[in-house]
DNA sequence: CCTATCGTTCTGTCAAGCAGAACGATGTTC
DNA sequence: GAACATCGTTCTGCTTGACAGAACGATAGG
């Protein structure tokens, strides 16, 4: 069938898409510029978005994202039923490796960063929770593919060794190691990864990362159950 | 002026409102029941929501919340520009008190829980990030009001003593202590709180919570700057 | 004072969106 | 195995929701 849609809804969502990192507030005219919508259209759409808490309007007329997004976003993350053990494991990983640690889940052909703890070092691979990244690149992406049934040669290798390591795959300056997180029934729940600048990821660092990752995944396996 | 709205947009947002804790997936017929919308209407609206990543559709036709909510929700939280110091302070608070620690911000006449770390105890005041709570009750709500300009007598008392304590205010079985978090310019950025079951919040526990809260707020004051 | 730009209001036009029936598929009960 | 119930899907006539975009008042800048 022909792809259905509701134009007005997509216009409203276009407005929400206009907000990006570092742009906390957007005035009406900037929204018009970014979305290509008429100001009168934006005002109508924003009235509805505001009523449901997706936007807030300041006294100066500027718009910013509203708390409903945080509420539903948190609900989304909790829908993965991961309990409260992920973050302590990320902390252990950061302590063991001094690098950034993250947890991803697969969503279609993307991976979503649900949890992350950045390295305390000033020069680091910075990453934000909420980030959407490709599945077919980066250690975590490849691990998610491999443990979710992919049959290509790389996936078979990753499954065989139980982890993935990439250097300069998704980002030319970043190296990463990742392991799958399975629950007590052996089902894939996500991927843990440690990422670092390439020049810091020598073989000793690699071993340290893998050891820590595997220990964390093992503990998580015990903690994650689905009745 | 008359309140503007876009009906189709509000219908779409109604669909997103249908999702609640513990209901990861909702089939079409349940959405129809919960929203009062016709199934054909829901399918059209959901096609647009899905296209923008607000919903995912499983192979069995059931809907669940999508990753865009997590991405925008994370963006919303980061728009408060709180850096990465909140969570370590929450951890310190939980370690010092063995109770649940949270951080709230004010949004209009509500407070939003941006960060929380639940107590490790089995019997505890459980709370989820993303929760929206009233401003006029609970220690954290009263502290936010007091340090954001409220002139009533309770607010003046709280400002004078620099913290708020409630027992059985919002929830009859819960006690809470809260302090304001100000930045290095003295502006209110949020409220830190510790909450516990009433019967565990004797005067020794109260003192322990307040001491830990004030230390955390002091460290956060040094860490939060806004140029 | 003039000009530019912002946000706000208004309304005629038209096609977007809805209601809701009909249908096929699947599951349940007897 | 048949009948029934419930699910999700498709289709279309009709109504009104939503838009485009002009006009306006307020504010800022030169």
B98-146 pLDDT, tens digit each: 999 999 999 988 999 999 999 888 777 778 899 999 998 899 999 999 9
The C-alpha of A155 sits at a distance from chain B's nearest C-alpha, in angstroms, of 24
Q: Name the domain boundary from B56, B72, B88.
A: B72
Residue B80 pLDDT > 80, yes or no?
Answer: yes
From the list A44, A75, A84, which residue is nearest B118 (CB)?
A84
Judge if A45 and A137 occupy the same domain.
Answer: no
Are the beta carbons of A81 and B24 separated by less than 8 Å? yes
Angle between helices B7-17 and A7-17 (to 10 degrees): 70
**Which is more confident, A164 or B225?**
A164
Using CB atoms and an 8 Å cut-off, which of residues 92-121 of chain B contact chain A?
A: 107-108, 110, 112, 114, 118
Judge if A55 and A165 occupy the same domain.
Answer: no
Count how many domains chain A has.
2
Number of residues in chain A = 227
B61 neighbors B28 (Cβ within 8 angstroms)? yes
Judge if A196 and A86 occupy the same domain.
Answer: yes
B127 neighbors B116 (Cβ within 8 angstroms)? yes
In the block, which residue shows the tokens 């302090």?
A: B179
How confident is the model over A129-150, as pLDDT tens digits?
Answer: 999 999 988 999 999 999 998 9
B155 neighbors B139 (Cβ within 8 angstroms)? no
Q: Name the domain boundary from A72, A94, A124.
A: A72
Whether B95 is in a domain gets the answer yes
Assign A215 a pLDDT band (cuts: 50, 70, 90): very high
Least confident of A112-121, A187-196, B115-124, B157-166: B115-124
Whether A1 is in a domain gets the answer no
A112 neighbors A102 (Cβ within 8 angstroms)? no
Q: Taking CB atoms and an 8 Å cutoff, what residues of chain B touch A3?
A: 47
Distance of alpha carbon B140 from alpha carbon B180, whole angstroms: 8
Judge if A54 and A149 occupy the same domain.
Answer: no
If you measure CA to CA, which chain A residue comes closest to B64?
A76
**Which is more confident, A177 or B24?**
A177
- Measured CA to C1', the nucleotide nearest A62 is C7
Element (H, E) at B216: helix B203-223
Distance of alpha carbon B40 from alpha carbon B28, whole angstroms: 10
Q: How far is the CA of A42 from the C1' of D22 (A)?
A: 17
Assign A1 a pLDDT band (cuts: 50, 70, 90): very low
Q: Calculate the alpha carbon distances from B168 to A211, B173, B198 in Å.
A: 47, 5, 7
Closest alpha carbon to B143 in B187, B93, B180, B106: B180
Note whether A128 contacts B: Cβ–Cβ < 8 A.
yes
How confident is the model over A175-212, as pLDDT tens digits?
Answer: 999 999 999 888 999 999 999 999 888 999 999 999 99
Are the beta carbons of A76 and B70 separated by less than 8 Å? yes
Residue A218 pLDDT > 60, yes or no?
Answer: yes
**Which is more confident, A40 or A225?**
A40
Whether B49 is in a domain gets the answer yes
Judge if A180 and A212 occupy the same domain.
Answer: yes
pLDDT of residue A227: 46
Are the beta carbons of A67 and B43 separated by less than 8 Å? no
How confident is the model over A17-66, as pLDDT tens digits?
Answer: 999 988 889 999 999 999 999 999 999 999 999 999 999 998 888 999 99
Three-state SS string over chain A comes to CCCCCCHHHHHHHHHHHCCCCCCCCECHHHHHHHHCCCHHHHHHHHHHHHHCCCEEECCCCCEEECHHHHHHHHHHHHCCCCCCCHHHHHHHHHHHHCCEEEEEEEECCEEEEEEEECCCCCCCCCCCCCCEEECCCCHHHHHHHHCCCCCCHHHHHHHHHCCEEEECCCCCCEEEEEEEEECCCCCEEEEEEEEEEHHHCCHHHHHHHHHHHHHHHHHHHHHCCCC
The enclosing domain of A205 has a CATH number of 3.30.450.40
Q: What is the maximal distance between C-alpha atoms in chain A?
A: 60
Give residues with Cβ within 8 angstroms of A129, minimum separation 6.
A113, A114, A115, A116, B70, B74
From the list A6, A16, A128, which residue is nearest B45 (CB)?
A6
pLDDT of residue A226: 56
Cα Rg of chain B, angstroms: 20
Judge if B157 and B205 occupy the same domain.
Answer: yes
Residue B1 pLDDT > 50, yes or no?
Answer: no
Judge if B55 and B150 occupy the same domain.
Answer: no
Using CB atoms and an 8 Å cut-off, which of residues 41-70 of chain A contact chain B?
A: 43-45, 47-49, 51-52, 54, 56, 64-67, 69-70
Judge if B68 and B157 occupy the same domain.
Answer: no
Number of residues in chain B = 227
The span from the first CA to the last CA of chain A, in angstroms, equals: 38
Give residues with Cβ within 8 angstroms of A157, minimum separation 6.
none
Are the beta carbons of B108 and A56 separated by less than 8 Å? yes
Distance of alpha carbon B181 from alpha carbon B90, whole angstroms: 13
The enclosing domain of B20 has a CATH number of 1.10.10.10
Residue A2 pLDDT > 60, yes or no?
Answer: no
Whole-number average pLDDT of chain A: 91
Q: Name the domain boundary from B25, B49, B72.
A: B72
Distance of alpha carbon A163 from alpha carbon A161, whole angstroms: 6
The C-alpha of B143 sits at a distance from chain A's nearest C-alpha, in angstroms, of 19
Q: How far is the CA of B42 from the C1' of C15 (A)?
A: 20
Q: Return the bridge partners of B174, or none.
A: B197
Q: What's the rounded mean pLDDT across residues B162-188?
A: 91
Tell me which residue range forms the domain holding B96.
80-223
Judge if B38 and B142 occupy the same domain.
Answer: no
Judge if B53 and B101 occupy the same domain.
Answer: no
Judge if B67 and B84 occupy the same domain.
Answer: no
Judge if A59 and A132 occupy the same domain.
Answer: no
């Amino acid at each position: 069938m022909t792809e259905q849609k509701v134009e007005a809804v997509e216009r409203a969502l276009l407005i929400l898409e206009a907000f990006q990192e570092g742009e906390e507030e957007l005035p009406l005219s900037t929204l018009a510029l970014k979305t290509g919508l008429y100001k009168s259209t934006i005002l109508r759409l924003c009235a509805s978005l505001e009523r449901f808490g997706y936007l807030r309007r300041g006294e100066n007329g500027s718009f910013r994202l509203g708390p409903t997004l945080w509420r539903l976003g948190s609900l989304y993350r909790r829908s993965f039923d991961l309990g409260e053990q992920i973050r302590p494991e990320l902390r252990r990983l950061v302590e063991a490796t001094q690098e950034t640690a993250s947890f991803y889940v697969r969503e279609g052909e993307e991976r979503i960063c649900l949890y992350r703890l950045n390295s305390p070092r000033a020069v680091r691979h910075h990453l934000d929770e909420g980030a959407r990244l490709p599945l077919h690149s980066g250690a975590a992406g490849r691990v998610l593919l491999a443990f979710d049934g992919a049959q290509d040669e790389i996936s078979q290798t990753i499954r065989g060794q139980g982890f993935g390591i990439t250097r300069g795959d998704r980002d030319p300056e970043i190296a990463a190691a990742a392991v799958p997180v399975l629950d007590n029934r052996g089902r894939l729940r996500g991927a843990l990864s440690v990422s670092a600048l390439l020049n810091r990821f020598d073989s000793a660092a690699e071993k340290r990362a893998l050891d820590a990752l595997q220990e964390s995944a093992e503990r998580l396996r015990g903690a994650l159950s689905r009745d």
